[in-house]
Structures are given as C-alpha cells and as structure tokens.
Amino acid sequence: MSQAAFDLDLDDGGEPTYSVAELADAVNGVLRRQFGDGVWVRGEIQGYGERNGHAYFRLVESGAERKAVLDVSFFANARMRLRPLLHKHRLRLADGIKVRVFGVLDFYPANGRLSLKMSAIDPRYTLGEMAMERDDVIRRLVAKGLYDANRRLTVAEMPLRIGLVTSVDSAAWHDFMHQLKQSGHGFGIRVIDVRVQGEFAAEMVTNAVATLAARGDVDVIVLIRGGGSRTELAIFDTESIALAIAASTVPVFTGLGHEIDRSVADEVAHTAFKTPTACAVALIERVQAFARRTESTWEAIAARTSRHLERSSIGLLETARRIEQRTIAAVERADQRLIDRSHRVALSSARVLDRADRAIERAADGIGLRPLQYATQELQTLQQIEARVRSLDPIHAMARGWSLTRTTDGRLIRSSSELASGDEIVTTFATGVAASRVESTAGGHTAAAEGRT
C-alpha cells in the first residue's frame, strides 16, 4: 500500500512529517479502517510461550519462495473465553500446530512490530489439517506395505518380558505398573524413559521403540501415555514413530489414553488400547489365560492318566485272574498226570518185581541144581591139569634117568657151549646130587674129570 492511500487529514500543500508515535497511530488507524473489526490468518505456531496468564507465539508460513512471520498475542481474557471451545475439541496450542485464528492487527510503537491480538480460533481448520496429515502418513504406509506389518506378528502365549516406552513417574507409568504388580505374575519390565509431548518427543519415542525391538529379549513393546489433547497426542501421528512400529520385529501394544480418536501409532500397532490400564489388563489376562490353559491341559492329562491307569489296573487284575485260573488248571492237569504216571509206575513196578521174583526163583532153582555139576566138571578139569603138571615135573623125568646140571650159582646148563674147562657144575638126579669139575668140552658133550656126591 502506497503512502498516498493513507487518509491522514494532513495539509496536502507540503510533504507531511510524522513523529514515530504519530506514524504508529496513523498506521493503526489505517489498519482499523482497512480490516474492520479483525482478520482471519492461518499458519503454523512456533515459539509458543506463556507469561502472566498471556500466551505469545509466531504464526509462520514457509513457502517455496519466502517465509512470512506474524507475531500473535493471546491475552488472558481471550484465553479464558476460548478455553471451553478448545477443550470441547480437545485442542491445545503448541509448536507445530497449524491454526486459523482471528484477531485485530496492531502496530505496537514500543517495539515497532506488527502483531495480531488473537480473539478467536477455528478448531475445524486445525482438526482438518491434522486429519489430512494423518491420512497422508497412513497412505504412505499402505503404499509401502507397512500398515499392517506389526499386526501380522504373533504375540507370545505368555508375554512376561515387557519393553515399556513412556514417561517414568507419570500417571500412565504408575497406573500401568500398579496393575502388573497387583496381578501377582512375574512380569519383567525393561523401560525407556521418554518425553511424550513437546519438542524431541517424536524422536525419543521413535528411538526407544527401535532400541527395544533390536534387543531381542522382550515379548512385547508397550507404548503408553496418560491421554491429553488432540494436539498433544499429535506426536503419535508422526511418520517416524509409525515407521518404527511397523519395522519392529516385536508386537507393539499402545495405550495412549484417548477415548475417541485413534492415532497413526494406534493404526499400525499390533493392538491398540484406550488407556495404559486397559493395556496392562490385556497383558495380565493373556498370561492368566495361558495359565488357565496350562492348568486345564494338566488336569486333562492327569484325568486321562488316571483313566488309563484304572483301565490298566482292571486289565491287570483280569490278566492275573486268567493267569491264576490257567495256573490252577495247569497244576490240576499236572497233578492228574502225576497220579496217572504214579499208577503206571506202580503197575509197572509190580510187573517188574514179579518178573524179577520169578527170575530169582528160576536162578535159585538153577543154582540149587548146578553147583554139583559145576563142581564135578571143575574136579575133572583139575585132575586133568594135575596129570599134565605131574607129567611135566622134572622129578618124573629124572626118575626115568634124566638129570639137571647147574652152575654153582644155580644157573641151569642147557648146552656144553655154556661151560668151559675148569668150571664147577652141580648135577641133580632123581635121588641125590653130584658136584664135578669140567675138564673138557667137545661136540656138545661134557666130560667130568672128577666128581663128588
């Protein structure tokens, strides 16, 4: 706007000169005439801060060619008036939030800056921008095939090892831990303390989820916070957190404390719960369900085992009875066979004894007749032997004129060749003995030179 457009009621006859205060008043007058009771402006909040009940921030628009900044003053009376509207839509002003606000432009002479005195806000614009950004993130995840990646993972039957991402000592932390402690189950918690709103919150949550997923020693990752406004929960719509959850090799549970809306983190998580307490209860119920299934399975095994043992006991008793009956029958048959054999043995023994008695009788009869025959035969044999012995006795031969010649040492002389001249010999006759000395031997005949009787 050129200076000629200003209606300052000055003397047109020369060039006007203003004091700084006069120029400021003139600028404000033009602004009021130009923009009436106020103007709507949209942009992204940066540098949000509160002081003495007032709030101050900058509306920023970053374009391809330039960056535009407008200071905004949100005074306490206007804040009080707009608080129900913001609360109704669960909005809270903070850095990074895109807003459409209404206010009066004011050029402040003390610092020479143009600012907007905010008096109204359009919640639908902010919610719409958030929804569009949220939808854009979800579309990109779907295009990459990551939207339901975490939901395809299988949760452990007994998830006792929990990786927890939250702000330690917050209400969400205490509610979650209280439920687990009250359950009496042996949960093991690995916690990473993070900011869940404000600057660096998205980066801290992203890194925490990735770190726990890489550990490999947790059954489930739990991301919780204790609710808040839509704008405070907007960090869970950020693409970095969504990508960390989708890329996790461990199932992720969320309990972000908002009853109505679902964040992008909820959309891509394995399971989303309304509150941290509900998340804890779900984990406890899963463990209890596994314990019940285990107990039920054990009871079924025990019952089946008892039935099997009972059937086996009955079968064993029946087998024992059959064995007993067969044993008794076998013993009875054996007794009968033994009795039969005893009878046969008794009969056989009697027959054998009868035959033996008859044989003995016959032998006795034979013995009674044969001794005399045997004696007569033996006597005749002895007489024959005696006659032969008598006929061979040298006495009988010598009685017929034969004699026996021996050396002095008793050796029998059978040939003259056994003698030498001068040997002494002894000749035995039928009656008497003669001793002599050999004078010579010749032709097998011996001549005695002298002899003694």
Residue 61 domain flag: yes
Same domain for 32 and 109, yes or no, is yes
The reply to whether the predicted model has a pTM over 0.85 is: no
Q: What is the CATH number of the domain that holds 168?
A: 3.40.50.280
Q: Which residue, of 96, 121, 146, is where some domain finishes?
A: 121
Same domain for 141 and 87, yes or no, is no
Same domain for 94 and 163, yes or no, is no
Domain residues for the domain of 206 are 131-288
Question: pLDDT tens track of the chain, all 453 residues?
Answer: 444 444 545 455 567 777 777 777 777 777 777 777 888 999 888 889 999 999 999 999 876 566 888 899 999 999 999 999 988 887 888 888 888 999 988 887 877 788 889 999 998 888 887 788 888 888 998 989 999 999 999 999 899 999 999 999 888 999 999 999 998 888 999 999 998 887 788 899 999 999 999 988 999 999 998 877 777 778 888 899 999 999 999 999 999 877 666 889 999 999 999 899 999 999 999 999 998 888 888 878 888 888 888 888 888 888 888 888 888 888 888 888 888 887 777 777 777 777 877 877 777 776 666 666 777 787 888 878 877 777 777 776 677 777 888 888 888 888 888 888 888 888 888 788 888 998 888 765 544 445 555
Same domain for 114 and 155, yes or no, is no
Residue 312 domain flag: no
Q: What is the CATH number of the domain that holds 39?
A: 2.40.50.140
The Cα 292–Cα 299 span in angstroms is: 10
Same domain for 114 and 163, yes or no, is no
The per-residue pLDDT for range 71-93, each reduced to its tens digit, is 999 999 999 999 999 888 878 88
CB atoms within 10 A of CB 301: 10
